[in-house]
């Protein structure tokens, strides 16, 4: 217990480096922040000492002097974590991965449920963060307006449908994704493409439905348009899919607004004694773990790109409301839209800019720790 816990081990400061390199502290600071102001020889000497002493500038001192935390808040919500297609977990990861490129970091916080903005105000007023990434948007969401009024930098993941004027969002183009899915289904030889979606009135659902319709029109299949509605519940979805199958001609496919609805469709198909893919195509949305497990073709949100765009927007100076990014999802093709049996390898159309560290087929389990343990033993 030489030095006790905490950051007590006395780390080298900028002054130690300065003394070692025989310059003043400001020159060391300049060597790091404004290298062009420092003579080449000096620069080299300083950097050698920085290396030798293992110096890293103290974040708190920088924050204090610069009056800027270089940190952004990310609200995590207990109600959705780990749930099927809870895309936010992945978004948070990609934001974290990309954060060092913008020399900043993320601080998680939980919302104050009774007074929503309080949580934001508290973490902001301590100067712990400079702004926020809003991982979701609610109906009548008070946050964007509040943040704008207080000139707090932010970006939202998901369009602010309530108010089209409100920029500063990143979103995935569900409509374009659906069009790609229709195109794929047609190319695979399916001759009629039905739609299993959510009831009218949800902006995202309506957007996806429009994509289906325009995809059909582009393919000259507008006359095959039949659809059913279901809320996000497996039993309801299965029943709706059953009704759809009764009307769907042979050689048809079902395009679904979510992986859960697609799961219902898969069940209905099997209940009819049919084989997904061979007899009826099924496509889901979000490329969740379930989609992978059940060999369900699904649209994958380009989270890595979304994270990069989010950083770009949140860092933009001023309160420019025209900063938006609409990204196209990519289709992960699996057996559920492959009429002829094929080896179940990875999708050929998978996003090329996927994280390179993503192993091709790492079976996840109860806890990530253990698959790797098994595999290594």
Contact between 99 and a copy of itself by CB under 8 A: the answer reads yes
Contacts of 42 (CB under 8 A, 6+ apart): 21, 23, 27, 31
Using CB under 8 A, pick the residue from 92, 254, 265, 308 that binds a copy of itself: 92
Question: Which uninterrupted H or E stretch holds 215?
Answer: helix 203-218
Q: How far is the CB of 107 from a copy of itself (least distance, A)?
A: 5
Residues that bind DNA (CB under 7 A): 10-11, 13-15, 22-27, 29-30, 32-33, 36-42, 55-58, 61-62, 64-67
Q: CB-based burial of residue 108 (10 Å sphere; 0-12 exposed, 13-18 middle, 19+ buried)? A: exposed
Residue with tokens 């940190």: 71
Tell me the window of 36-44, 68-76, 218-226, 243-251 that interacts with a copy of itself (CB under 8 A). Answer: 68-76
**Angle 284-287-291 (CA atoms, 0-180°, nearest 5)?**
70
Contact between 158 and a copy of itself by CB under 8 A: the answer reads yes
If the CB atoms of residues 33 and 108 are measured against a copy of itself, the closer one turns out to be: 108
Contact between 368 and a copy of itself by CB under 8 A: the answer reads yes
Provide the 8-state DSSP code for 167: -
Strand 71-75 relative to strand 105-109: parallel, antiparallel, unpaired? Answer: parallel
Query: Contacts with a copy of itself in 267-326 (CB under 8 A)?
Result: 270, 285-286, 288-290, 293-294, 301, 317-319
**Angle 90-215-291 (CA atoms, 0-180°, nearest 5)?**
35
User: Residue 347: which of DNA, a copy of itself, none does it interact with, CB under 5 to 8 A by kind?
Assistant: none
Contact between 11 and a copy of itself by CB under 8 A: the answer reads yes
For residues 232 and 246, give the distance between their C-alpha atoms in angstroms, rounded to a whole number: 21
User: Residue 87: which of a copy of itself, DNA, none does it interact with, CB under 5 to 8 A by kind?
Assistant: a copy of itself
User: Residue 130: which of a copy of itself, DNA, none does it interact with, CB under 5 to 8 A by kind?
Assistant: a copy of itself
Contact between 145 and a copy of itself by CB under 8 A: the answer reads no
Using CB under 8 A, pick the residue from 39, 44, 60, 187 that binds a copy of itself: 60
Contact between 1 and a copy of itself by CB under 8 A: the answer reads yes
Contact between 363 and a copy of itself by CB under 8 A: the answer reads yes
Contact between 215 and a copy of itself by CB under 8 A: the answer reads no
Using CB under 8 A, pick the residue from 322, 340, 345, 377 that binds a copy of itself: 377
Contacts of 12 (CB under 8 A, 6+ apart): 53, 54, 55
User: Residue 23: which of DNA, a copy of itself, none does it interact with, CB under 5 to 8 A by kind?
Assistant: DNA
Q: From residue 99, give the alpha-carbon distance in Å to each of 69, 230, 303, 310.
A: 13, 39, 14, 10
User: Residue 191: which of DNA, a copy of itself, none does it interact with, CB under 5 to 8 A by kind?
Assistant: none
User: Residue 24: which of a copy of itself, DNA, none does it interact with, CB under 5 to 8 A by kind?
Assistant: DNA
For the chain, list the strands marked E by DSSP: 71-75, 105-109, 131-134, 154-157, 169-172, 192-197, 227-229, 252-256, 281-285, 297-300, 324-327, 330-332
Query: Contacts with a copy of itself in 225-244 (CB under 8 A)?
Result: 231-235
């Amino acid at each position: 217990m030489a030095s006790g816990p905490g950051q007590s081990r006395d780390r080298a400061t900028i002054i130690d480096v300065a003394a070692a390199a025989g310059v003043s502290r400001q020159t060391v600071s300049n060597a790091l922040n404004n290298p062009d102001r420092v003579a080449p020889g000096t620069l080299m000497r300083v950097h050698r000492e920085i290396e030798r002493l293992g110096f890293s500038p103290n974040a708190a001192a920088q924050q204090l002097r610069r009056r800027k935390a270089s940190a952004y808040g990310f609200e995590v919500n207990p109600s959705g974590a780990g749930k099927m297609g809870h895309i936010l977990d992945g978004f948070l990861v990609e934001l974290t991965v990309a954060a060092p490129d913008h020399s900043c970091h993320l601080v998680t916080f939980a919302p104050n449920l009774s007074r929503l903005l309080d949580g934001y105000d508290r973490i902001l007023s301590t100067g712990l963060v400079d702004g926020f990434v809003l991982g979701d948007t609610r109906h009548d969401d008070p946050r964007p307006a509040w943040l704008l009024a207080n000139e707090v930098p932010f970006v939202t993941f998901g369009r602010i449908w309530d108010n089209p004027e409100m920029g500063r969002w990143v979103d995935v183009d569900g409509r374009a994704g659906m069009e790609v899915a229709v195109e794929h289904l047609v190319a695979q030889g399916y001759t009629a493409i039905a739609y299993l979606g959510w009831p009218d009135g949800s902006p995202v659902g309506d957007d996806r439905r429009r994509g289906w319709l325009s995809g059909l029109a582009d393919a000259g299949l507008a006359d095959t348009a039949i659809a059913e509605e279901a809320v996000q519940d497996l039993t309801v979805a299965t029943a709706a899919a059953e009704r759809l199958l009764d009307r769907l001609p042979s050689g048809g496919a079902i395009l679904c607004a979510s992986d859960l609805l697609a799961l219902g469709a898969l069940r209905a198909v099997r209940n009819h004694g049919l084989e997904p893919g061979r007899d009826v195509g099924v496509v889901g949305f979000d490329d969740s773990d379930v989609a992978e497990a059940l060999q369900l073709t699904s649209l994958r949100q380009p989270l890595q790109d979304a994270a990069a765009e989010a950083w770009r927007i949140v860092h933009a100076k001023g309160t420019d409301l025209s900063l938006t990014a609409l990204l196209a999802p990519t289709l992960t093709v699996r057996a559920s839209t492959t009429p002829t049996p094929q080896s179940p390898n990875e999708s050929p159309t998978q996003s090329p800019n996927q994280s390179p560290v993503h192993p091709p087929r790492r079976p996840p389990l109860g806890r990530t720790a253990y698959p790797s343990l098994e595999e290594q033993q």
